[in-house]
Amino acid sequence: MDKTNNNSVSDEKEHKRAIAAWTMYDWGNSAFATTIMAAVLPVYYSSVAAANLAPNVATAYWGFTSSIAALIAAIISPILGAVADFRGSKKRFLTIFMLIGVTATALLYVIQTGDWLLASIFFVFGNIGFAGSLVYYDALLPHIAKPEEMDQVSSRGYAMGYIGGGILLALNLFMIMFVPDLVPSLDAGLMTRLSFITVAIWWFVFTLPVLLRVKEPPRRIEAHEIGFSPLKASFTRLFTTFKEIRKYRELSLGLLAFWVYSNGIGTIIVMATIYGAELGFSQTTLIGTLLMVQFLAAPFAFLFGWLSKKLGTKKSIYLSLCIYTLIAIAGYFLYQEWQFWVLGAAVATVQGGSQALSRSMIGKMIPRSKSAEFYGFFSVFEKFASILGPALFGVVSTIMGESRLSISSLVIFFALGIFILSKVDIAKGIAVAEQEEQELVAVPQ
């Protein structure tokens, strides 16, 4: 009895360690999301790399750059996700994409005045590495978290991401804003470029826990796939998934709803800083607001994890989307810097919760042994949201000569997303996933 109890305690400790290690990847890669995607690089791109372009053109080019990066990631994610499932190599693929992202991020150091095209190229590769690695990171969630704790674990990951990304952003802001005054020979441009190096190091170092602590999930395949090459198995699985899409009706509707409302969420995240720069807001306001969002969003991510226990996953997502709707409407009337701070605080209340619960909602309806394949599709829907939203933002901005109408048009995404999500039966989707998992054959690693 004692030995059994000891084993049980040991397994539980290992389970908690694996969850803690998994969340540390959110802590590490979020530095790319904060410093590179949201805060420092957009401003540096607009004011330095694209200094020879008109402000609204620089805004549009940034939107197009984000769209191209998202399109490439969307195309390759399901294919390589299915390969990773078949080979039992989710962690290996995570490592490969992480290294691509880290290298491209470090190369941003060489960007100087007028180098907007080179900056765009490096950002594209960095974003491919970032987005690609998240497919395999997310794919580990159903394996390290029990079904009943998936909302909370996913929310904890986002919370850790906000804290980790926020800490490094704060350090980078100190480098950019204060070090030049303390050491005149170190100008703000150099400190900005050094901040890109710190992101690469931070991302790499905090990837190590998940690589060392989280075990590669057991490999399970279809009986007819025995003897297949990884690439053949990948395309066969994708074809079969599309052919039997009706079997995954609830999952498909969940992905569609996610795609629709993510058009709004993704555009706000990617374009907020450069939109504020276009309105003439100071760098202190732009960067300071994003830093505030990072730390304020962390407790709200935990809150939404708790709220899902009380209201359920879908109702909690509904709440976040209603708040986003109000934010998009208010964005049209944005004139003063204090209003930017207020809207930033409002975004912080829902940003982590909406994303974390979307990730766990999809994870519950995915066959665990095909998690990378289906999170590849999740990534496709997410990235196509990042294609349409910023691209539309850029087109409207170019046509109108300003971006106010672009931000207000996001309301339709949130309203339609809520409607589609209301048609999803999560319990039925879970039952289909469990039945699919039982039909797979275990294969030794």
pLDDT (0 to 100) of residue 228: 76
The pLDDT-based confidence of 426 (bands split at 50, 70, 90) is very high
pLDDT (0 to 100) of residue 212: 93
Burial of 52 (0-12, 13-18, 19+ CB in 10 A): exposed
254 versus 3: the higher-pLDDT residue is: 254
Mean pLDDT of 281-310: 86
Whether residue 400 is predicted with pLDDT greater than 60 in this model: the reply is: yes
Q: How many CB atoms lie within 10 A of CB 423?
A: 12
56 versus 152: the higher-pLDDT residue is: 152
pLDDT (0 to 100) of residue 321: 95
Mean pLDDT of 366-388: 76
The pLDDT-based confidence of 245 (bands split at 50, 70, 90) is low
Residues 365, 433 contacting (CB under 8 angstroms) = yes
Residues 102, 128 contacting (CB under 8 angstroms) = no
pLDDT (0 to 100) of residue 95: 96
- CA 206, distance to chain mean position in Å, is 16
Whether residue 159 is predicted with pLDDT greater than 60 in this model: the reply is: yes
The pLDDT-based confidence of 295 (bands split at 50, 70, 90) is confident
The pLDDT-based confidence of 190 (bands split at 50, 70, 90) is very high
Q: Of the segments 74-78, 115-119, 280-284, which one has the largest average pLDDT value?
A: 115-119
Whether residue 4 is predicted with pLDDT greater than 60 in this model: the reply is: no
Helix axes 411-421, 313-332, angle to 10 degrees: 170
Q: What is the CATH number of domain 15-208+243-443?
A: 1.20.1250.20
Whether residue 440 is predicted with pLDDT greater than 70 in this model: the reply is: no
Sign of CA dihedral 317, 337, 393, 73: negative
Interval 336-357: pLDDT, tens? 889 889 988 998 899 888 989 9
Alpha-carbon distance values, 174 to 107, 155, 178, 263, 290 (Å): 21, 29, 5, 33, 14
The pLDDT-based confidence of 417 (bands split at 50, 70, 90) is very high
pTM score over 0.85: no
> What is residue 217's DSSP assignment?
P
Q: What mean pLDDT value characterizes the chain? A: 85
Whether residue 76 is predicted with pLDDT greater than 90 in this model: the reply is: no
Of 79-83, 134-138, 274-278, the least confident = 274-278
**Distance between CA 155 and CA 276 in Å, rounded?**
28
310 versus 283: the higher-pLDDT residue is: 310
Of 6-10, 134-138, 157-161, the least confident = 6-10
Residues 134, 358 contacting (CB under 8 angstroms) = no
Interval 88-99: pLDDT, tens? 889 999 999 999
Domain regions of the chain by residue span? 15-208+243-443
The pLDDT-based confidence of 144 (bands split at 50, 70, 90) is very high
Mean pLDDT of 273-298: 80
Whether residue 118 is predicted with pLDDT greater than 90 in this model: the reply is: yes
Look up residue 340 and give its two tokens.
Answer: 């930017």
Interval 212-231: pLDDT, tens? 999 988 877 666 667 677 77
Of 64-78, 198-212, 383-397, the least confident = 383-397
pLDDT (0 to 100) of residue 403: 67
Look up residue 178 and give its two tokens.
Answer: 């204060």
pLDDT (0 to 100) of residue 306: 92
216 φ, ψ to 5°? -65, 130
